[in-house]
Amino acid sequence: MKRFLPTFLLLLLPLTVNAQDFDFNHAFQDYLYNYNLYRSSHLEYVSAKSEYLTYKTLTAQTKALEATQKMLLARAETLKTYLTALRMKLKETTGVLNYQQNMYYLKLDNEVTWISSHETSLPSAATLDDLVKISQEAEKRYPTMEILAYQTLGTVMTGKEVTLRDKINEQISKTESKINQIKEAGEDTTTLERWLIQAKEKIKRSEEKEKEAQNLLSGIKTTDKNKIQTWNKAQKAFEEENQYLKEAVSYLKEILREIKSE
Amino acid sequence: MNKIPKILMLSLPILILVLVIFLFARIQKQSPTTTTGSEVPTPTPTPEVFVPSKWAGDEEVLGIESNILNLEKDLENVDLKKLQLLPPSLDMKVKF
């Protein structure tokens, strides 16, 4: 038994390495590959469907059944790899609160599990009606997945902005300490203090924009027809948040220039 | 005696005419001509004289400055357009 143990461990090694190599880029490539497969299978489905609806023959029906099954499987695989890519993006983003990250992991994993079970039911469909019924289940579920996707993307963006804001706040604190030191040395720091207040104000405005984006995203409902519009509004708020952070940094630069010059 | 004023009387209008033509030609030369944008002199900023304060070489100040420059780059590189990761366009309505 002891003789076989190292061999067994060696066999396990590539698996461990593969798991470590699986990052967002890998997941994203998987998704793009499956999305392309879906697109081509969808074209086949459209053509087979049209043929069947025109001729209504048994041969056309069988072809339509096969093409629909293939397309539905590709659609499910696209969704699964898409959600996995989102999960990896979330995993690689710093600044996301742990509880939030875990909550989204759980939600994304639930959807992936649901899709897997949906996939297993597809090959057992014997008729086109069976496939339509199975597809309708996915159709009902899809809005939930869409909302989850937008909210996960929002969390990724928030994480990025939070990381940057924390770093800027750190520099604001350091600059404030330096201004205090200059003040204690007997120099007039009124202008510097006023400018620092303005930099802090920009940070505050950026936080407000972040909340605005989050509120928009958490307000999306499954019944909303134009989820993308809400997403676009949220994205605009994120861009404005970023602009405020840039302005805060620009103010800090001016403060430092002032400190450095007589 | 009578001849001189006659000559003057004849040559005076010619002289005035020549003078008018000469003045007109000078005015034409001096009048502003339309210039292209590139010919308009542009204001050049006067170089700001930087007089360093006693804090200019302060290690902490230089440290903050370097961090801020890095932050500026990070902010520029934030990819806020995650269009590639937006939900795929899928046909969810399968009907026969």
The residue-averaged pLDDT of B67-75 equals 95
Measure in Å the smallest separation between the Cα of A107 and chain B Cα atoms: 16
Cβ within 8 Å of B, A 171-200: 171, 174-175, 178, 182
User: What ipTM was reported for this prediction?
Assistant: 0.84
Q: Per the structure block, which two tokens stand in for B4?
A: 């001189």
b/e per residue, A17-51, with b = 16+ CB within 10 A? Answer: eeeeeeebeebbebbbebbebbeebbebbeebbeb
Contact between A50 and A115 under an 8 Å Cβ cutoff? The reply is: no
Whether residue A80 lies inside any domain: the answer is: yes
Cβ within 8 Å of A, B 68-87: 68, 71-72, 74-75, 78, 80-82, 84-87
Q: For A123, which DSSP code?
A: T
- Collect all residues of chain A within an 8 Å Cβ-Cβ radius of residue B59: none
Q: Are residues A124 and A185 in the same domain?
A: no
- Collect all residues of chain A within an 8 Å Cβ-Cβ radius of residue B67: 167, 170-171, 174
Whether residue A152 lies inside any domain: the answer is: no
Which residues, 6+ apart, have CB-to-CB distance to B2 below 8 Å? none
The parent domain of residue A255 ranges over: 161-261
C-alpha to C-alpha distance for A224 and A217, rounded to whole angstroms: 12
Cross-chain residue pair B93–A249, CB shorter than 8 Å: no
Of the candidates A135, A182, A242, which has its C-beta nearest B78's C-beta? A242
Whether residue A2 lies inside any domain: the answer is: no
Q: What is the pLDDT of residue A108?
A: 98
Q: What is the pLDDT of residue A256?
A: 97
Q: What is the pLDDT of residue A5?
A: 47
pLDDT of B32 over the 60 cut? no
Contact between A256 and A175 under an 8 Å Cβ cutoff? The reply is: yes
Picking from A146, A145, A158, A163, the residue whose alpha carbon sits closest to that of residue A213 is: A158
For each of chain A's 262 residues, which pLDDT tens digit applies?
445 444 444 444 444 445 668 899 999 999 999 999 999 999 999 999 999 999 999 999 999 999 999 999 999 999 999 999 999 999 999 999 999 999 999 999 999 999 999 999 999 999 999 999 999 999 999 999 999 999 999 999 999 999 999 999 999 999 999 999 999 999 999 999 999 999 999 999 999 999 999 999 999 999 998 899 999 999 999 999 999 999 999 999 999 999 999 8
Picking from A194, A206, A141, the residue whose alpha carbon sits closest to that of residue A169 is: A206
Whether residue A11 lies inside any domain: the answer is: yes
Type of residue numbered A186: G
Give the per-residue SS3 of A215-237: HHHHCCCCCCCCHHHHHHHHHHH
Measure in Å the smallest separation between the Cα of A248 and chain B Cα atoms: 10
Cross-chain residue pair B78–A49, CB shorter than 8 Å: no
Q: Does A168 touch chain B (CB under 8 A)?
A: yes
Of A113, A141, A169, the position where a domain reaches its end is A141
Total domains, chain A = 2
Taking CA atoms, what residue in B is nearest to A166? B71
Q: Are residues A177 and A120 in the same domain?
A: no
Q: Are residues A174 and A257 in the same domain?
A: yes
Q: Does A26 touch chain B (CB under 8 A)?
A: no
- Collect all residues of chain B within an 8 Å Cβ-Cβ radius of residue A245: 75
Q: What is the pLDDT of residue A95?
A: 92
Tell me the range of A147-156, B48-57, B70-79 where mean pLDDT is highest.
A147-156
Higher pLDDT, B6 or A151: A151
C-alpha to C-alpha distance for A245 and A161, rounded to whole angstroms: 9
Q: What is the pLDDT of residue B67?
A: 97
Q: What is the pLDDT of residue A201?
A: 98
Higher pLDDT, B23 or A174: A174
Q: What is the pLDDT of residue B82?
A: 60
